[in-house]
Structure 1
Amino acid sequence: MASGGGNAIRGSRVGAGPMGEAERGEAAARQRVVYFCSHEHESVITFAIEAQIPDSWDCPRCGLPASLDSDNPPPAPKIEPYKTHLAYVKERRSDKEAEDILDEALQTLRARRKRGEIIF
């Protein structure tokens, strides 16, 4: 019988070990850019030197839009409240149109009841 653990395969995982620049190649030249949000967070983002720097960036801390201008950060976006189905209907119909539609529906319902139709 083999002694405990004497036959174990020893080695390392794929990707384990030192990974220096010699194995990965030279690191690209970089520049640090600071973005400012309306909550006064400063976010330092690193870009390659040749990269086009965006005018705005989402703040990693709060998610608000951030810009390069520390004196005038972009305002938080206005969040529209949830609209009910009735609110959408009221946008499309005037009160007079709603009354006409209701009267028409009630006349149809009353006529069906007079005929003896089962209405739930």
Structure 2
Amino acid sequence: MAGGSAIRGSRVGAGPMGEAERGDTAPRFFVPYYCVNGHETRPSFSIEANVVAPEVWDCPRCGLPAGLDAENPPQPFRNEPYKTHLAYVKERRSDEDGEALLDEALAALRARRTRR
């Protein structure tokens, strides 16, 4: 057995937790936000800090954006699929440009091989 005088479930320096020990909480205001899935979240903001509540808040349940209007919540952002480097190159260049670049690179490669 470890120490006989240890108090189980506590740590050194731990004391009673409560408002009397910590002091009063700062005055707050709560703002309701609504997401497309019908979730409501009410984060609190400090009155003393003169904070203006943001227009959009992330829903903690589904991660979608939530807005102040319950009837018209913001729509989820369109998620662009991952594009490879080749996909970006194909967006910038036409097939003819690609053929010309390939022919140029092959000609340079063949010229280096014949010099050896």
Gaps of 5+ in 1: none
Give the corresponding residue for 2:30.
32
Instruction: Tell me the percent identity.
Output: 60
Q: Distance in 1 between matches of 2:47 and 2:92?
A: 53
Q: Distance in 2 between matches of 1:53 and 1:78?
A: 25
- 48-57 vs 20-29, greater mean Cα deviation: 48-57
Q: 1:19 to 1:106 in 2, by over 3 A?
A: closer
Give the corresponding residue for 2:87.
87
Q: Does 1:8 align with 2:4?
A: yes
What is the CA distance between 1:63 and its match in structure 2? 0.7
Q: 1:18 aligns with which of 16, 19, 22?
A: 16
SS of residue in 2 equivalent to 1:57: strand
In terms of Rg, which structure is larger?
1
The TM-score with structure 2 as length reference comes to 0.76
What is the CA distance between 1:65 and its match in structure 2? 0.9
Give the corresponding residue for 1:45.
43
Q: 1:48 to 1:111 in 2, by over 3 A?
A: closer
The TM-score with structure 1 as length reference comes to 0.74
Map Cα deviations across residues 59-109 of structure 1 (whole Å, 9 max, x no partner): 000111111111111110111111112111112222222111111223334
Q: Distance in 1 between matches of 2:13 and 2:69?
A: 42
**Pairing 1:36-115 to 2, within 5 Å after superposition:** 36-50=34-48, 51-113=51-113, 115=114
Q: 1:10 to 1:88 in 2, by over 3 A?
A: closer
Supply the RMSD in Å over aligned alpha carbons.
Answer: 2.6
Map Cα deviations across residues 3-46 of structure 1 (whole Å, 9 max, x no partner): x99x8335652353422322111122222221001111111222
Q: 1:112 to 1:53 in 2, by over 3 A?
A: closer
